[in-house]
Structure 1
Amino acid sequence: MNRLYDNLKVDGNPLAYLRLYLTALIVFLADQASKLWIFNNLDMDTGRIVVVEGFFQIIHVGNEGAAWGILSGHSGILTVFALVALAAIFCFRKTLQLKQPLIQWLFGLISGGILGNTADRMIHGHVIDFLDFRFPFEIPILLPDGRYPAFNIADCAIVIGVLSYFLLSCLYENARGRDKTN
């Protein structure tokens, strides 16, 4: 039991993860402010602002699922999954090397995005998506009919954080492998 408690302590310094907390807060506030503007200024499913004709528009849609509508209608499951993901980030912070500044920023992006979409699910019963792109080509599954599913700032933060962490991990493993062979 002491070992579990030791793992849950915030490493003795409340400012140890300040970059992570600030990044998460900035992402969360930007996400919620943008969604509040959309909620107050565009009608659901019909309101739109054309930014670049035929390519980019701002819309107001509710997504009851995750990416591409996966698990649509299961908001409770997605909320629990999000909270478990946040708890896992905290519990595995040493393994994830969260004391490193760059890693803190990346997990701040991820955490802020998770919090933003989770807040939507809890407040509205769905996530507010509003960035809508259309392309002159299609890619099966990813871009059916040339249209990418609408998304939001939280989604951007999560994707950037996850992909950057994955790339950084691959580069680190590659460099470690070269060090072992030399």
Structure 2
Amino acid sequence: MPTLLDHTRALPVWVPLLIAAVLVAADQALKAWALANLTYGAAPIPFLPGLLDWQLTFNTGAAWSLFSGSAVPLAIARLMVGVGLLVYVMVRPQNRFLTVVLSMIAAGAIGNTIDGLRQGRVTDMLHAPPLSAITRALGAGDFPIFNIADSCVVVGTLLLLVASFVSGRERKV
């Protein structure tokens, strides 16, 4: 029985580049839209009422403003991670799941690299009130405003973690 991490079903070597290119393009397009249509410091504008708002902000660090003021060094590190992951999945083809997940993470790293190198900061515009309610309840303040690149990294990493637990259970059975 194949598992999520089974190495028998690889995708063509160009697929990781295509996935990453589409996600980076979507990220950069939404950032350009946000810069043209949203105002920094303005109140959130509902997009999906109660779930997701538009709110323009900038970050010179990483999540929760860790390493603030380090946009260029972080951009270089992100670039190395993004390119490294793409090279890895192209040189050592993985199964479809891992190819997609690692390409998502690479796209997120590259999307935020572009901002860090071009602007010295990352453009964020997605505000999730339900996530802020959770982080405030945990005493961590508001959930950071984020972008598509951030979502690619977080969702890809979570999928990778879930798959590793599922795969571990399947091997024990």
TM-score class, shorter-chain normalisation, is 0.7 to 0.9
CA spacing shift, 1:72–1:98, aligned 2, 3 Å: farther
Correspondence 1:152-167 to 2 at 5 A? 152-167=147-162
Kindly name which structure, 1 or 2, has the bigger radius of gyration based on alpha carbons.
Answer: 1
Residue 74 of structure 2: aligned partner: 78
Task: Name which structure has the greater RCO, CA cutoff 8 Å, separation 6+.
Answer: 2
Q: Is the 8 A contact 1:130 1:151 kept in 2?
A: yes
CA spacing shift, 1:75–1:113, aligned 2, 3 Å: same
Residue 38 of structure 2: aligned partner: 42
Q: Is the 8 A contact 1:16 1:99 kept in 2?
A: no
Cα root mean square deviation, aligned: 2.5
Match 2:52 to one of 47, 52, 56:
56
Q: What's the TM-score, normalizing by structure 1?
A: 0.76
Distance 2:152 2:59 in 1: 17
Where does the alignment leave 5 or more consecutive residues of structure 1 unmatched? 1-14
Paired residues, what number? 160
Q: Segments of 4+ in structure 1 off by > 4 A?
A: 52-55, 90-95
Where does the alignment leave 5 or more consecutive residues of structure 2 unmatched? 1-10
Match 1:25 to one of 9, 21, 28:
21
Correspondence 1:166-177 to 2 at 5 A? 166-177=161-172
Q: After TM superposition, give the deviation of residue 75 of structure 1 in Å.
A: 1.1
CA spacing shift, 1:176–1:73, aligned 2, 3 Å: same
Matching of residue 100 in structure 1 with residue 95 in structure 2: yes
Q: What's the TM-score, normalizing by structure 2?
A: 0.80
Q: After TM superposition, give the deviation of residue 175 of structure 1 in Å.
A: 1.6
